């Protein structure tokens, strides 16, 4: 049974699993270091920067969606939930960018960054549609 004093932000399943997400990211980074150390001769800095940029653009899109949603009146509980989610999304997008960039740079294959770029473009499109529909429904 849920306690009446427990806020919605405290019941967020993503926030409750934040330590598991952190442990997963640390494990992926350890495997990434091992993978990159096995392919040192093929390293491509432009592909690494491209992958990192994809992660940062994804993070920027999440931040823009958060800013767009701030225009409406929200409770303190919802503000806490958004702040916690932004922390988690920041770590996840940066980790995704580092992972894509490192793998594509280590094996010198551009297709990994291309797929990541298409994914972020799809997220941008879906986020834009979501925000447009939400604003039209609030009018």
Question: Over the chain, what is the mean pLDDT?
Answer: 84
* Percent residues over pLDDT 70 in the chain: 89
What is the value of pTM for the model shown? 0.79
| pLDDT at residue 127, rounded to an integer | 75
pLDDT in tens, 18-32: 999 999 999 999 999
User: How many other CB atoms are found less than 10 A from the CB of residue 133?
Assistant: 10
- Enumerate the domain spans of the chain: 46-138
Question: Which stretches in the chain have pLDDT values below 50?
Answer: 1-2, 4
Residue among 74, 67, 86, 122 nearest 12 (CA): 86
* DSSP-derived 3-state class of residue 7: coil
Q: Is 6 exposed, middle or buried (0-12, 13-18, 19+ CB in 10 A)?
A: exposed
* DSSP-derived 3-state class of residue 39: coil
Residues 71 and 65: their CA atoms lie apart, in Å, by: 11
| pLDDT at residue 1, rounded to an integer | 43
């Amino acid at each position: 049974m849920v306690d009446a004093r427990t806020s919605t932000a405290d019941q967020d399943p993503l926030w409750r699993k934040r330590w598991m997400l952190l442990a997963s990211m640390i494990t992926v980074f350890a495997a990434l270091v091992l993978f990159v150390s096995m392919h040192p001769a093929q390293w491509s800095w432009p592909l690494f920067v491209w992958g990192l940029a994809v992660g940062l653009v994804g993070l920027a899109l999440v931040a823009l969606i958060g800013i767009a949603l701030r225009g409406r009146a929200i409770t303190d509980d919802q503000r806490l939930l958004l702040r916690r989610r932004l922390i988690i999304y920041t770590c996840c997008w940066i980790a995704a960018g580092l992972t894509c960039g490192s793998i594509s740079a280590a094996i010198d294959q551009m297709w990994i960054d291309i797929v990541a770029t298409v994914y972020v473009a799809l997220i941008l499109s879906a986020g834009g549609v979501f925000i447009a529909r939400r604003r039209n429904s609030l009018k």
